[in-house]
């Protein structure tokens, strides 16, 4: 099932994507819901970020082929040896499919980081890795936009990764998928920049959810980035970046300069 959050006119709704249409639902996506009987073409709705999370977290550097770059730009060696969660940013960091990635004038080198994103389905605290899958609603695509010229050497990632619209997620939530079998592709201006397998993660999705839940109470709709693979490259205003993950879909975002 593919669950989307969308806007039609002045109303924000949820629906289930089927083919080129979306069937509107009534009730919470985190519980049993009903269909309203209304179906809309996807071309006529605005897809929003799938949830409005309380916590927008990340599991840290989580792929062997990304560790060297992560260690060099952050100045914190040892990433990836253990789960090292951090907070992506405030709610205005979150944006959806086709929303612009906004580059401020003093950001010198802003990179894409294509990632699988965990969507929490129900409140969890101190869950085991074995029980963690029961607390996962599904998965979506994400782009952990990051400034790598110098900002990642800040004491925290508050500006290196947490700027407005630097957390694109979407286009919807895919349930009933096996994250370890998913494949990803990052395209910049239609050109393939990187391909990866989510099965290459150092720490799997249940382990990440379990670890974070030992210290945070996770809530329905919370989002957890699972780490980028490979060596990332810079984006510039005028570019279009796409994160495609098999069995989920494609998250597409234009890159624009901030108007100051």
Instruction: Look up tokens 């994160």; give the residue.
Output: 243
Residues 98 and 48: their CA atoms lie apart, in Å, by 9
Q: Do 230 and 168 fall within a single domain?
A: yes
- Which residues lie across from 47 on neighbouring strands? 6
Residue 192: CB atoms within 10 Å: 11
20: number of CA atoms within 13 Å, CB side?
3
Check whether the bond before 179 is cis (ω within 30° of 0). no
What pLDDT sits at residue 65? 86
pLDDT tens figures, 48-94? 999 999 999 999 889 998 777 776 766 666 555 789 899 998 889 99
**Helix or strand (DSSP H, E) at 143:** strand 136-143
Structural domain count of the chain: 2
pLDDT score of 152 more than 80: no
Q: Do 54 and 37 fall within a single domain?
A: no
Last residue of a domain, one of 12, 28, 47: 47
55: number of CA atoms within 13 Å, CB side?
25
What pLDDT sits at residue 16? 98
Q: Do 12 and 85 fall within a single domain?
A: no
pTM of this structure: 0.94
What pLDDT sits at residue 153? 78
Q: What is the CATH number of the domain that holds 105?
A: 3.90.850.10
Closest CA to 114 of 153, 140, 80, 148: 140
pLDDT tens figures, 101-148? 999 999 999 999 999 999 999 999 999 999 999 999 999 999 999 999
The DSSP 8-state label assigned to residue 26 in this structure reads E
Residues 120 and 147: their CA atoms lie apart, in Å, by 27
Record the tokens describing residue 127, joined without a space.
Answer: 């869950």
Q: Do 34 and 132 fall within a single domain?
A: no
Q: Do 175 and 81 fall within a single domain?
A: yes
Residue 7: CB atoms within 10 Å: 13
Closest CA to 228 of 137, 117, 150: 117
pLDDT tens figures, 181-232? 999 999 999 999 999 999 999 999 999 999 999 999 999 999 999 999 999 9
Q: What are phi and psi of 71, to 5 degrees?
A: -65, -40
Segments forming the whole domain that contains residue 127: 49-257
What pLDDT sits at residue 156? 83
Closest CA to 220 of 58, 87, 51: 51
Q: Do 105 and 56 fall within a single domain?
A: yes
pLDDT tens figures, 156-187? 888 889 999 999 999 999 999 999 999 999 99
What pLDDT sits at residue 88? 93
What pLDDT sits at residue 67? 79
Cα separation values, 8 from 23, 53, 99, Å:
13, 21, 16
Q: Do 145 and 36 fall within a single domain?
A: no
- Per the rule left: phi > 0, alpha: psi between -120 and 50, beta: everything else, 183 is beta
Q: Do 117 and 144 fall within a single domain?
A: yes
Q: Do 40 and 55 fall within a single domain?
A: no
Cα separation values, 206 from 34, 61, 68, 125, Å:
29, 16, 25, 13
What pLDDT sits at residue 73? 66
Residues 203 and 60: their CA atoms lie apart, in Å, by 10
Q: Do 109 and 159 fall within a single domain?
A: yes
Q: Do 15 and 83 fall within a single domain?
A: no
Residues 78-91: b if buried by 16+ CB within 10 A, e if exposed? ebbeebbbebbbee
What pLDDT sits at residue 74? 65
Q: What is the CATH number of the domain that holds 22?
A: 2.30.30
């Amino acid at each position: 099932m593919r669950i989307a959050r969308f806007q039609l006119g002045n109303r924000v709704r949820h629906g289930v994507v089927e083919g080129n249409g979306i069937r509107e639902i009534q009730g919470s996506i985190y519980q049993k819901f009903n269909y309203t009987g209304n179906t809309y073409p996807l071309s006529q709705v605005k897809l929003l970020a799938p949830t409005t999370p309380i916590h927008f977290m990340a599991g840290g550097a989580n792929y062997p082929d990304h560790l060297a770059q992560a260690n060099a730009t952050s100045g914190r060696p040892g990433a990836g040896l253990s789960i090292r969660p951090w907070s992506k940013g405030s709610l205005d960091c979150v944006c959806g499919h086709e929303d612009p990635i906004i580059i401020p004038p003093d950001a010198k080198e802003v990179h894409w980081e294509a990632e699988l994103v965990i969507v929490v389905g129900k409140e969890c605290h101190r869950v085991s890795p074995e029980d963690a899958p029961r607390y996962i609603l599904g998965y979506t695509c994400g782009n952990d936009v990051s400034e790598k010229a110098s900002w990642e050497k800040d004491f925290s990632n508050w500006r290196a990764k947490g700027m407005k619209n630097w957390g694109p997620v979407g286009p919807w939530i895919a349930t009933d998928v096996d994250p370890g079998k998913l494949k990803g592709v990052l395209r910049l201006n239609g050109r393939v920049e990187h391909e990866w397998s989510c099965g290459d993660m150092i720490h799997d999705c249940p382990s990440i959810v379990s670890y974070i839940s030992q210290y945070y109470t996770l809530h329905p709709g919370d989002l957890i980035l699972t780490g980028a693979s490979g060596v990332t490259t810079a984006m510039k205003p005028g570019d279009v970046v796409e994160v495609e993950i098999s069995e989920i879909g494609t998250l597409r975002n234009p890159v624009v300069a901030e108007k100051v």
